[in-house]
């Protein structure tokens, strides 16, 4: 087990939660201590557990993560877990996107961040991380190297401009940053573009407020690699009037995640997705697509559809190991395949394309409230969420 905690891809690369990147890994073997409370993590569907993480020491938890063979496994200190769920993190302030077989590109740079101060710009290519070619590394390892230490630690990157040229060798010092999980603009009269970068506490309420007076919504999930699945389900509830959001198998039991009633169903909705849309964000996009509630625009999502649940140790740290996979309301699993858009961007500006699709939806007859789609198997749509 390396000195730094093992990191998993689950939030926008290089932009979130310092030493740990949450796509939500979890424990089916180790459960939450009785009476404890916590928010579920990315792709966490709160499966039942038989044992308690309090039985493990932090050293044993780290050893378990290192030997589990679970690519999404992680051990988080109490502060790392608090930062993760609360929207603060130590990082360099850049997000990265990689399409299948393509280069690793800088998708966004946070203003004022270490990456911005070093002159890195969106659209540039991340060539190396700590001396290793980025394309030779799984995305999870790229994430691990970008986030492999606390604030004040350094990571070396090689960056090339979007038009080629020499590789710039830079050393970035990680800093504590405040996450900007929801950003809103109005690209056309009555239209709200709501960009959700990660699902941390309170995100669903921000989305609900941003969509309240809109006559059309573009929900931008590009580069969103997950977070708290409860927030993703609550975000689905903004646009759905009850019914299924996802289902999962864990410990031999079939469970349902359902939206609450009363969501805004008549407002036209387009969801932007790309290869950086992951985990809980894929769960949300797939649910809105299966329910006929939204048109997905962009490119195929990442393909992370596993189920995890954090397990809190006696000292407040958290262990996570994967326990299963979730399915969309129509019974699809994004694991390994991702979610395909209804309208591929195919080289077009995805934002401009989304607005054209939204205009087409707005000019059509108002849609009736979306009827719950029956899952491929399992309990009926009205079953209670776990």
List helix spans (H) across 212-257: 229-239
Active site amino acids = 279, 304
Residue 299 is encoded by which pair of tokens? Answer: 């490119």
SS3 286: helix
Calculated CA dihedral for residues 139, 144, 146, 147, nearest 10 degrees? 140
d(CA 46, CA 256): 10
User: How far is 219 from 210, CA to CA, in rounded Å?
Assistant: 10
CA pair distance 284, 288, nearest whole angstrom: 6
How are beta strands 269-273 and 216-220 bridged, if at all? parallel
Tokens of 28: 């089916």
**DSSP code for 236:** H
**Two tokens at 269?**
């909705």
Contacts 24+ apart (CB under 8 A), 77-80: 77/5, 77/317, 78/315, 78/316, 78/317, 78/318, 80/5, 80/17, 80/18, 80/19, 80/20, 80/318
Measured distance CA(74)–CA(271) in Å, rounded: 30
């Amino acid at each position: 087990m390396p000195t730094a905690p093992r990191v998993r891809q689950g939030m926008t690369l290089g932009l979130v939660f310092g030493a740990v990147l949450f796509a939500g890994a979890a424990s089916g073997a180790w459960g939450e201590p009785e009476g404890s409370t916590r928010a579920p993590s990315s792709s966490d569907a709160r499966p039942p557990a038989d044992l308690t993480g309090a039985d493990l020491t932090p050293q044993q938890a780290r050893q378990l993560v290192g030997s589990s063979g679970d690519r999404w496994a992680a051990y988080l200190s109490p502060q790392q877990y608090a930062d993760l769920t609360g929207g603060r993190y130590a990082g360099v302030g850049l997000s990265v996107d990689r399409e299948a077989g393509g280069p690793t590109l800088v998708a966004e740079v946070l203003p004022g961040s270490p990456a911005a101060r070093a002159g890195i710009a969106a659209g540039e290519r991340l060539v190396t991380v700590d001396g290793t070619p980025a394309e030779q590394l799984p995305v999870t390892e790229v994430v691990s190297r970008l986030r492999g230490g606390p604030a004040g630690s350094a990571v070396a990157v090689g960056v090339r401009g979007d038009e080629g040229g020499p590789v710039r060798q830079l050393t970035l010092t990680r800093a504590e940053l405040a996450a900007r999980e929801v950003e809103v603009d109005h690209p056309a009269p009555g239209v709200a573009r709501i960009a959700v970068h990660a699902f941390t506490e309170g995100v669903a309420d921000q989305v609900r407020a941003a969509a309240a007076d809109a006559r059309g919504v573009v929900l931008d999930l590009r580069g969103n690699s997950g977070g708290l699945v409860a927030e993703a389900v609550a975000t689905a509830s903004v646009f759905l009037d009850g019914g299924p959001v996802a289902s999962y198998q864990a410990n031999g039991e079939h469970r349902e995640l359902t939206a609450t009633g009363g969501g805004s169903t008549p407002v036209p909705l387009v969801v932007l997705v790309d290869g950086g849309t992951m985990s809980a964000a894929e769960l949300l996009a797939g649910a809105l697509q299966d329910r006929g509630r939204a048109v997905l625009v962009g490119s195929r999502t990442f393909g992370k559809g596993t189920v995890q649940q954090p397990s809190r140790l006696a000292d407040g740290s958290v262990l996570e190991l994967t326990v299963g996979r979730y399915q969309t309301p129509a019974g699809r699993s994004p694991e390994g395949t991702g979610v395909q858009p209804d309208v591929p961007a195919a080289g077009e500006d995805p934002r401009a394309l989304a607005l054209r699709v939204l205009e087409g939806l707005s000019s059509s007859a108002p849609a009736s409230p979306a009827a719950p789609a029956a899952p491929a198997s399992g309990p009926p749509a009205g079953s209670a969420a776990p």
